Amino acid sequence: MQKKYQGQPTITLNNGVAIPSLGFGVWQMENLTQCEEAVINAIKLGYRMIDTASIYLNEVAVGKAIQNCGVHRDELFITSKLWVQDHGYENAKGAFQRTLERLQLDYLDMYLIHWPFGDFLDAWKALEELYNEGKIKAIGVCNFTVEKLEVLKANADILPVINQIELHPIFQQKELQIYHRENNIITQPWSPLGNGNKSLLETESLKKIASKYDKTVAQIILRWHLQEGFCVIPKSVTLSRIEENFNVFNFELTEEEMNVVRSLDTGKRLFFDPKDPEWEQKMLNSRADI
């Protein structure tokens, strides 16, 4: 039976599971009390997809919010992610169980491999088994390049439903978008507003569009993501911003306005490059207490 999300727009993944097209991310929410409060506020405002990760060290807070939000678990879509230090078959199985315990859940709606480093192939085998056992409703990846997706595709029994990547108007990864569409993988942007990039939010062409619809530039950018067919996860701990980010379903950009946003692509990342060997080594050598 397919879940209901208060009539919200959903995207159907390649395994038939529906996911809300707009969710709530908790990256960098290190204050656990603040994180729990933000998630509860988001759910009360209508968000039904919550995205966390073991490396964020806030799964416990998200779990408490799920228990205390007043919305039934079956009405929520909960995602977490496997950290690179837990790659490998047995490690991934153990890490998944610890994530469930921290979240106080008996299944996840989606579980993602966070970075394409180390033994991600054996980790994927573990995720496939957990999926087949019904403990995860959908499995996917984050930060995978076309090359790493091809490696996974050649060795996997189940293709990822989603690739969560850095994507915002400044860095649109158009080649990767095309690959996703050709392989029925949904694009899920992280940091969809460019981490609050000031120059982006002050772009005159976007301010003009925002004025037309009586919206903020951030709302115009989120609407662009949605109309591109992306599954987007903005984040904020500020109640007014959480509400603002969700209020993007009552207007529609024209194709000309969509092209204005598309034209802002610089091809330059604001964050970490999965093709950078130094970043890969740093990730493989890092360890949070998870």
Q: Which among 56, 111, 131, 179 is annotated as catalytic?
A: 56
- 3 state DSSP class of 163: strand
The angle subtended at Cα 106 by Cα 105 and Cα 112, nearest 5°, is: 80
Cα 219 from Cα 14, distance rounded (Å): 28
Q: Is 72 annotated as a binding residue?
A: no
Cα 37 from Cα 69, distance rounded (Å): 9
Beta strand 10-12 with 18-20 is antiparallel
Cα 125 from Cα 39, distance rounded (Å): 31
111 catalytic residue (yes or no):
no
Neighbours of 73 (CB within 10 A): 14
Alpha-carbon distances of 143 from 147, 162, 189, rounded to whole Å: 11, 10, 10
Q: Which residues contact 290 (CB under 8 A, 6 or more apart)?
A: 54, 55, 57, 83, 85, 86, 95, 98
Cα 178 from Cα 161, distance rounded (Å): 15
Q: Which residues are annotated as a binding site?
A: 114
Q: Which residues are annotated as a binding site for substrate?
A: 114
Catalytic site residues?
A: 56
